[in-house]
Amino acid sequence: MKIIIKKTYEELSKAAADIIKEAITKKPNIVLGLATGSTPIGCYQELIKMHKEGLDFSKVTTFNLDEYLGLAADHPQSYNYFMYENLFNYININHKDIYIPGGTTKNVEESSKEYEKKIKEVGGIDLQLLGIGSDGHIGFNEPGTPLDSRTQLVKLAESTIQDNSRFFKKREDVPKFAITMGIQTIFEAKKILLLASGENKAEVISKALEGPITPQITASILQKHPDTIVILDTAAASKLKKQYQL
Ligand code: F6R
């Protein structure tokens, strides 16, 4: 695991976008795994700027980590909607090469299998972008999820529902279930880029990066991944015990 610490969220976002840009430049038909939530928004804004300056997404394929069960793609709080609003509408990706779990799919088991199959068909994920939940989740793999899990339907932890209620009018509006890539699905990405910003992530970051590898903090599995880069701002890094250079 390589850990990079930046002073601010803006610098963290730029550093993440630079890594993605370099990867796309090296392999124009790259397969990217993408995340939603607050953390990657700055990185997506940088990528949009880079696109305006010539970065080409026309051969890129993307797979998103997750989607709320029950939210249609045009629901403003759905992750489908989020991705178009925050990235896809502003870059030249072919919409047929965008894969996001469907929140209103009728047969979740079947479509989860299809999702895994599709990832394999395109040769696997080259670079997976991740955020981390305050309970240590990656994707929506909540504490206790077996580390060999694959894309599936999951129940959201109460802490996640609470955290994500900031995006909804009422806490009761937050869906209780989601479809998420599994931990094993994520782990199979050739390269992983985990971002965390802010003091509210400091505790979980210290557990995930310096604590034991455990299904109770699903992000801790990344300690075993052969090519993971973690980019933190100083606030998110503030509870790490080891010293890292800025
Ligand atoms: C989002 C996802 C989640 C988030 C995590 C952190 O697609 O899979 O794991 O990355 O909940 O969310 P933020 O960035 O909003 O703190």
- pLDDT grade for 196, boundaries at 50, 70 and 90: very high
167-187 confidence digits (pLDDT tens): 999 999 999 999 999 999 999
Between CA 34 and CA 127 the distance in angstroms is 9
Stretch 17-38: mean pLDDT, rounded? Answer: 98
- pLDDT grade for 101, boundaries at 50, 70 and 90: very high
Residue 143: pLDDT over 90: yes
Between CA 213 and CA 243 the distance in angstroms is 20
Nearest CA to ligand 1 atom 15: 37
Nearest CA to ligand 1 atom 2: 139
Neighbours of 152 (CB within 10 A): 20
Q: Are 236 and 199 in contact (CB under 8 A)?
A: yes
**What is residue 243's predicted lDDT score, i.e. its pLDDT?**
80
- pLDDT grade for 246, boundaries at 50, 70 and 90: confident
Stretch 153-166: mean pLDDT, rounded? Answer: 97
Ligand 1: centre distance to CA 197 (Å): 11
Residue 244: pLDDT over 90: no
Ligand 1: centre distance to CA 194 (Å): 10
- pLDDT grade for 222, boundaries at 50, 70 and 90: very high
b/e map 199-218, b = 16+ CB within 10 Å: eebbebbbbbbebeeebebb
Q: Are 122 and 87 in contact (CB under 8 A)?
A: no
Ligand 1: centre distance to CA 145 (Å): 16
Atom of ligand 1 nearest to the CA of 131: 10
Q: Tokens 């994707």 belong to which residue?
A: 139
Q: Are 60 and 33 in contact (CB under 8 A)?
A: no
Between CA 101 and CA 44 the distance in angstroms is 20
28-55 confidence digits (pLDDT tens): 999 999 999 999 999 999 999 999 999 9
Domain ranges of the chain: 2-233
Distances (CA, A) of 121 to 118, 128, 150: 5, 17, 16
Atom of ligand 1 nearest to the CA of 64: 7
Distances (CA, A) of 110 to 40, 106, 117, 151, 185: 29, 9, 11, 10, 16
CATH class of 2-233: alpha beta
> Ligand 1 site: residues with CB under 6 angstroms?
35-39, 65-66, 131-133, 137-140
Nearest CA to ligand 1 atom 10: 131
Q: Tokens 């029950």 belong to which residue?
A: 70
**What is residue 210's predicted lDDT score, i.e. its pLDDT?**
97
SS3 (DSSP) at 186: helix
Ligand 1: centre distance to CA 35 (Å): 7
Q: Tokens 């840009």 belong to which residue?
A: 21
Stretch 223-234: mean pLDDT, rounded? Answer: 98
b/e map 110-120, b = 16+ CB within 10 Å: ebbebbbeebe
Provide the annotated active-site residues: 66, 135, 137, 142
Atom of ligand 1 nearest to the CA of 201: 16
Which residue, 211, 208, 207, 200, is CA-closest to 233?
A: 200
Numbers of helices and strands, H then E, in the chain: 7, 10
Amino acid making up residue 63: F
